[in-house]
Amino acid sequence: MQYAIIGAGGTGGVVGYFMTKAGKDVTLIARGRHLEAMKEHGLTLERLWDPNPETIAVKATDMEHYKEQPDVILVCVKGYSLEDTVPFIRRVAKPDTIVIPILNIYGTGAKLQKELPELLVTDGCIYVSANIKEPGVLVQHGKILRIVFGVREKTDWRPELEQIRQDFTDSAIDGILSENIRREALEKFSYVSPIGAAGLYCNAVAGDFQKEGAPRELFCSMIREIGALADAMGVPFQKDMVDVNLHILSTLAPETTTSMQRDVMAGKPSEIDGLVYEVVRMGKLYGVPVPSYTKVANRLAEKKGIIFDMDGVLVNTEPLHFRCWQEVLKEDGITLDYEIYKPCIGSTREVFRQLMVDAYGDIFEDYPTMNRRMEEKKKEIVEKEGFPQCEGIREVLEKLHQEGYLLAVGSSSPEDVICKVLKDLDLAQYFSAFISGENMAHPKPAPDTFLAAAKALLLDPSACLVVEDSTNGGKAAKAAGISCVWFHNPDSGDQQIPDAVLEIDTWNQQNAEKIMEIFSKGRE
């Protein structure tokens, strides 16, 4: 049988990898850099329990250039992209093509069937934890890999479905052809929805759910609410889904996050509507109380966000950075003038490089070499002297987090640097998103970084505040239409944020209260 898999991420990519490896005729439908990497280098799969990644050649193309007529189409996209697949399916499908949606959102098969009445669209779900690590590279977090699929009406059954199941089994995929796909899809939903919702609400990873505590309690209560919905829908669970789902969790690496969390962290669209708000709607439809889901939905819908710059606000790194660059350039016989350096405070290293070119010529071989030298010098200094965390910031973050504010980092530092600094200082736990200006088309003083951070928090910019220490950061906040709190750090140099709604110079509980008061009083 010939397969087309729409979507080559943590779901479709993993399925395509194993089916291709087993010799099945599979084409991955992808796009962008991920597609180009697969075409050029193949598809690599890393497993957290296996130190040896494996790369195989795969057939991959985009929707525009796919010219075949597959026997089976596996739809492995996010819920918000489902409608985008319909024109493609209509174009390439034969009259007897079978469409199997494998999405996190419950009921997608029936929805897709309405758009494609001429085809057989089954229901389906997948048990796998994986994501794109980088273009052409997938990482699988746990060993479970199971696809459950089936028809909603017995009259729709075809013998080809058994062949599809066998192809999955041949590919080291636990393929299950369900006789009650509504129930089994709800069973899967009883895992993916609660773990996604609770993970986002509690800013929690798998390890937080693997032990007793508030995240685990919320996760279990949400599973029970899905069970109550299943009873009301006439497809009651036949097993204790709390025990089942806790067992699934136990197989994951402690640092594992959900795809919804990863999307939110990256500032991408998320499946929050289908995984959270839809359950609240189902509760109203079937007259089933869903208090845990309602609590989470209300919190996410009414949240306020605070976006923190990192350098000079969370960590007092500006003097450290200047010292590092001084010592790096000293090795090249250059004495770095602070007045030349100062305009790059609050912006990216690419801005710094251009300033250096303008002042001293092209002294660095290339951008990666410049970064490497900087990081080596910073590591050397930090190992001797420690990282300069801003005094009192931990207590302030703890207070804001406990009060229910969504916190993000919107920094010009590289993404890996942000993650390392916050992890090393044990501050990452307070933040729901990390946005690097180096990933933006236009870094600070452009608004892109802060707009991406607001989007990552699932908030309108008007529901956010920015905390900045630099002129460039203040300009970026203003351009984004977000009110700015100026953390006046004297070590950040001669900075000015004249439009700031609040100016503070220390981190303490009193100033945390002042920030919260801005939300309660409204911003001018």
Same domain, 81 and 22: yes
Provide the token pair at 234.
Answer: 């006439």
Same domain, 232 and 279: yes
Residue partners of 504: CB distance under 8 A and separation at least 6: 485, 486, 487, 488, 511, 514
Same domain, 123 and 20: yes
Same domain, 401 and 505: yes
Same domain, 223 and 354: no
Boundary-marking domain end, from 385, 406, 434: 385
Tell me the pTM.
Answer: 0.59
Q: Find where tokens 């708000």 sit.
A: 277
Low-confidence ranges of the chain (pLDDT < 70): 265-268, 301-302, 346-347, 386, 520-524
Residue burial 17-51, b: 16+ Cβ < 10 Å; e: rest: bbbbbeebbbbbbbeeebbebbbeebbbbbbbeee
Return the number of other C-beta atoms located less than 10 Å from residue 444's C-beta: 29
pLDDT at 55: 98
Same domain, 220 and 324: no
Same domain, 409 and 272: no
Q: How many domains does the chain have?
A: 4
125 touches 102 (CB < 8 A): yes
Same domain, 449 and 510: yes
Q: DSSP code of 311?
A: B
Same domain, 327 and 297: no
Give me the domain span that covers residue 475: 305-315+388-521
Q: Report the CATH number at residue 263.
A: 1.10.1040.10
Return the number of other C-beta atoms located less than 10 Å from residue 198's C-beta: 26
Q: Report the CATH number at residue 506.
A: 3.40.50.1000
- The vertex-338 CA angle with 365 and 448, nearest 5°, equals 70
Element (H, E) at 466: strand 464-468
Same domain, 266 and 357: no
Same domain, 405 and 510: yes
pLDDT at 524: 38
DSSP for 228-280, please give it.
HHHHHTT---SS-HHHHHHHHHHTS-TT---HHHHHHHTT---SHIIIIIHHH
At 305-320, the pLDDT tens digits run: 999 999 899 998 778 7
pLDDT at 180: 93
Boundary-marking domain end, from 332, 354, 385: 385
Q: List the beta bridge partners of residue 130.
A: 140
Boundary-marking domain end, from 151, 179, 207: 179
DSSP for 484-519, please give it.
EEEE--GGG-S---TT-SEEESS-SHHHHHHHHHHH
Provide the token pair at 97.
Answer: 């093509």
CA distances from 258 to 131, 141, 164, 197, 205 (A): 9, 10, 28, 9, 8
Same domain, 289 and 141: no
